[in-house]
Amino acid sequence: MSHAEQLLPGSVQSSSAWAGLGAWNLYFLLKLLLLWQGLLNFHVLPNLLFAGVLLLPLRHDWPRRLRRWLAMPVAVALFYHDTWLPPLERLAALADVLDFSAEYLLELAGRLVNWQLLGLCLLLVVAYCLLAPWLRLTSISVIGMLWLALQSLPGASGLTSAANAGATAATGPLDGHGPGIQAGTAGNEPVDGRVLDVYLERFYRGEAGRRTHFVPAAAGSAPFDLLLLNICSLAWSDLQTSGLSGHPLLQRMDIVFDEFNSASAYSGPAVIRLLRASCGQTSHAGLYQPPDEQCLLFENLKTLGFGTEMLLNHNGRFDGFLQEVQAEGRMPAPMALTNRLRHRMVGFDGSPIWRDQEVLGGWWQQRRGLDRPRVALFYNSISLHDGNRRVHESGRTQRADYASRARQLLDDLSAFIEELQRSGRRVVLVLVPEHGAALHGDRMQIAGMREIPSPAITHVPVGVKLIGMSAPPRGEPLHVREPSSYLALSELIARLHEGRADGSEGIDWTTLLDGLPQTPRVAENAGTVVLDYQGSTYIRIKNEWLPYPQ
């Protein structure tokens, strides 16, 4: 073992010999360890080039000193490039973290600490110190990277996984239910970035032509109120983790969408998608382009004679949420019903959050006093948002666990439905969450982080309850098991208003649900896309496609 193996990265070596990597071995071996743990997206070529530059023998002192100073920022940038952290431009947009409360920042810091990983890193350092005098660790580092390079050669591996080897390629033509991307012939071609880019382009191109056509109600159809309850941080995975997947609220729904995709993991974009539900799914960037008037759900309802209202159980100021919803969804100012209510919870930024049952109950009492045949309400709740804290009588705040908040929310909504039923009015209530809470992190992001719209975050429970509409009693809800998104809700609302499903004995469920628009699973945040293709899930991050780590 040469003495060069024990030197620090900037140590001076003989100009006639190839120096070892020295302590830089720790850098590369750590990356290989993280790759082995499935926690890193290792880019072989730039890492090999970086190692080659570090190994290059230099004759004079000043080039070695220059390399030493330049290597540090390059190493940091390359390490960041190898992680699954969001693009730098997205991090620059996270200035609102300065508004987080100190308690929430401390909680987030605790989640960032991976004690198992820290233990492995400590073992790596100890192993390096013990083995460096006896083994040529530079050879191990370089051979490890060369082996990875061989694995990444064309034909050696790819994005195709065994799970999709016998799946079907999505290249079929348009039909009456889908966006032009239907299952076709067997997909034996390798799945690479080009294939997925083409698929995504075809998906958005097909979605651009989809519309819900609202028509006047049939003669004699009785009016109804429409209540869209938009709940932040509620996914199927969260219900399962909290032991609430069998809560009575879901069982009392008339319709449940089993495979509904919220298409976003951010609150603002998810709300915009809901408010533009009358058109097909658009890209994240498209959400901030002027929409076709026909896409705006509440504008369509207004044309049909609905009075439109917005209600929040929070102030809507964080990250410009309220301003964004009003501008992009063409919504009126929220009703000021919370001024006389006492809040028992505060958000991650210290702002007040009011109880859902009190806010909705107060609105319903006011609505019953209005002489309007039809009202459409958009209600947004952040009772389940990450970092919320309960407020005690003394004013002291305490961390509020997710399970207890979720149970209270579902209980509140159940009580609200009972209040609606007692009123005798005709109401269509739609429960549609924005996104999940990410109670469990994965290999790409920690718990509570939603920069990547993973299926666990965007697969949300959507339910529809028809109240006072002579719907035949059911022991359990009807399940829509096809992949769905907001366009299906818009079509369902249009059919209910038209009265197409009104039968002599109440709602004709077959007519109401048959042929609802289906939408393949594609979700997008700023800089990140997650989609299902040939039975597997893929992610595009930092302009690179790769299988979503399981």
List, as one string, the DSSP characters of 307-325: EEEEEESS---GGGHHHHH
Instruction: Give me the architecture of the 225-516 domain, per CATH.
Output: 3-Layer(aba) Sandwich (3.40)
pLDDT reported for residue 472: 63
Tell me the average pLDDT across 62-76: 90
Give percent of the chain above pLDDT 90: 57
112/247 Cα distance (integer angstroms): 32
Question: How high is the mean pLDDT of the chain?
Answer: 86
pLDDT band at 446 (very low <50, low <70, confident <90, very high): confident
Residues with Cβ within 8 Å of 10's Cβ and at least 6 positions away in sequence, in order, are 64, 65, 67, 68
pLDDT in tens, 199-249: 999 999 999 999 999 999 877 788 999 999 999 999 999 999 999 999 999
pTM of the model: 0.84
pLDDT reported for residue 93: 58
Segment among 185-189, 345-349, 531-535 with least mean pLDDT: 185-189
Q: If you average pLDDT over each of 21-30, 41-50, 96-105, 455-464, which comes out highest?
A: 455-464
Q: Could you tell me which of 296, 302, 363, 262 has the C-alpha nearest to residue 497?
A: 302
Residue 12 above 60 pLDDT? no
pLDDT reported for residue 284: 96
Tell me the average pLDDT across 177-192: 53
Residue 454 above 80 pLDDT? yes
pLDDT in tens, 239-298: 999 999 999 999 999 999 999 999 999 999 999 999 999 999 999 999 999 999 999 999
Which residues pair with residue 229 across a beta bridge? 379, 431
Residue 72's identity, in one-letter code, is M
Cα–Cα distances (Å) from 471 to 104, 226, 464, 502, in that order, read 45, 16, 12, 9
355/512 Cα distance (integer angstroms): 33
Residue 308 above 70 pLDDT? yes
Residue 96 above 80 pLDDT? no
Q: What is the DSSP string of 156-184?
A: TB-S--GGGTT-EEE-----SSSSS--EE
Number of H helices, E strands in the chain: 18, 19
The ranges assigned to domains in the chain are 3-151, 225-516
pLDDT reported for residue 154: 61
pLDDT reported for residue 225: 98
Residues with Cβ within 8 Å of 497's Cβ and at least 6 positions away in sequence, in order, are 214, 217, 221, 224, 304
Residue 88 above 90 pLDDT? no
pLDDT in tens, 336-358: 888 889 999 999 888 999 999 99
pLDDT reported for residue 286: 96
Higher pLDDT, 114 or 192: 192
pLDDT reported for residue 85: 78
pLDDT in tens, 409-443: 999 999 999 999 999 999 999 999 999 999 988 88
